[in-house]
Amino acid sequence: MTTISPAWYPAINARRARRAYDKSKTIGTEVKNRLHEVCNEFRPYPDVRVEFVSEPPYDIFANALGFYGNIKGAPAFLAFVGDMSDPNVQEKMGYTGEAAVLEATAQGLGTCWVALTYNAKAVKSLVKLGQTEKLICVSPVGYTTGTWSFEEKAFSGFGIYHQRNPLSTMVSGLPESGWPDWAKAAVEAARLAPSAMNRQPWSFHVEKDRITVAIKNRGMEFNVAKRLDCGIAMLHIQLGALSCGAQGKWALLKSPQLARFQIE
């Protein structure tokens, strides 16, 4: 299955990075099955995969104090795994992994892309890696606490990390007055994509029948490749276009360009 769920587009606005989870609320069987289904069957790129691990025997976030802060009480997690022999593994991982994140959001669960503050050795004991595979990121999954803790607010910059730059700073090509409806919805959705420390490392070139994604200031920051962030934005672009009934396909490009979404 490479079908995109209609539930993922509205989940873009609902998604927030959460770090505090309610231990008393368990994830039901139906929701678990749905997450397993998406992880197992939404595989547009065979060299990346997402594993959903429910009720692990130990807390992979225990004592993981770092730049992202503690993750507390999560009863499950997503593991994002990629074949590092593929030069496009990061953008493929962002695109594929964000589908699982948005599915969890649509199911009323909290998530948070995490690159550093978790026990990688513990995760690897539960998610077996191939010879050329690497554990790229993880995300806690669970029902969140009703209110944001002070720690959560602090690590979200008291809302700063959810603010986004204006489209005028990230979009080139057609003037905004000439954007087709699908393109406007696509770049608005991409603008809301999460990125490490809200760095927003993307630019979008809009034409009548396509959008090209490029990377601003290439490289790594916060141990997260900017290509991963741009891969997340790729899925958001496609979801925005689909919300207007526009079908399209992605073609991966050479750096500094990343990918082009072409309307069919």
Given a contact cutoff of 8 angstroms between Cβ atoms, the answer to whether 151 and 19 are in contact is yes
Of residues 41, 13, 36, 112, the one with CA closest to residue 72: 112
Domains of the chain: total: 2
Distance CA 24, CA 120 (A): 26
Task: Tell whether 92 and 187 lie within a shared domain.
Answer: no
| Domain termination site, one of 133, 155, 177 | 155
In CATH, what number is assigned to the domain containing residue 189? 3.40.109.30
Q: What is the pLDDT of residue 36?
A: 97
| Domain termination site, one of 121, 155, 189 | 155
Task: Tell whether 109 and 185 lie within a shared domain.
Answer: no
User: Does residue 3 sit within a domain?
Assistant: no
Helix 89-106 to helix 226-243 angle (10° resolution) is 50
Task: Tell whether 32 and 58 lie within a shared domain.
Answer: yes
Range of the domain at 74: 8-155
Helix, strand, coil percentages in the chain from 3-state DSSP, rounded to 5: 35, 25, 40
The per-residue pLDDT string of the chain (264 residues; one tens digit each, 9 = 90 and over) reads: 468 999 999 999 999 999 999 988 999 999 999 999 999 999 999 999 999 999 999 899 886 444 445 888 999 999 999 999 999 999 999 999 999 999 999 999 999 999 888 999 999 999 999 999 999 999 999 999 877 666 666 655 555 556 889 999 999 999 999 999 999 999 999 999 999 888 999 999 999 999 999 998 755 555 578 999 999 999 999 999 999 999 999 999 998 899 999 999
| Domain termination site, one of 124, 155, 186 | 155
